[in-house]
Amino acid sequence: MTRAERSERFAPELASVRAGRHFVRDTLEAWDLAELADDAQLCVSEIVTNAVTHAGTQVTVTVRSEDDLVVEVHDGVATLSVPEPDVPVAATATSGRGLQIVSVVSADWGVECSADGKVIWFRLPLPDTTARHHDADVLSLAERRSTPSAPPAATQRASGYEQARTAG
C-alpha cells in the first residue's frame, strides 16, 4: 500500500544527476525519512547518470513510501544494456560500477521494460521494517536477485543482473 508518492521530471543532461539527488533528499526529509537519504541519493545518482548518459531522454524520478522505500528512474528507451556482474572493472576506470553499487546498497533492484521506455528501480527498507529485512541483509546477492516481485501488467520485470539481461 502506497503511503506517499512524489515524481519529478529532469532534462537529459548531467545537471539532472545532482537535481535528482536533491529531489530524493528533499522528499525523504519531508517524509521524516532522512536516515535513508544517503543510500537513496547514491543509488539514484548512479541510475540517473546511466539514464542521461545512455538513454539521452527525459528522466522521471519517482519516490514511493510503501512497505519499503521504492525509487524508480524512468527513461524513454526500452532497450537495456547491463554489464556483466562478474567482470572486474579496472581500478582506473571512470565508469562501469553504477549498478554494482546499487546492488550492494539496496535491498533489491531491478528493471521493468515497456513500449514507452524502462524503469530501473531499487528498494530500501523503511526504518520501522528494518528488523523484518534483517534476514534479507544476510542473503547473498544471488539469493536476493532470484526473488523478484511480480511484474505489473504489460511490462517485463527483471530483478538484478541475471533477470535484467533477459529483459533487454
- The CATH number given to whatever domain includes residue 59 is 3.30.565.10
Number of domains observed in the structure of the chain? 1
Strands 59-65 and 108-114: unpaired
Q: Which domain holds residue 110?
A: 4-167
pLDDT by residue, tens only, the chain of 168 residues: 558 999 999 999 999 999 999 999 999 999 999 999 999 999 999 999 999 998 889 999 999 998 999 999 999 988 876 555 556 666 665 555 678 889 889 999 999 998 899 999 999 999 974 443 344 444 444 444 444 444 444 444 455 555 454 444
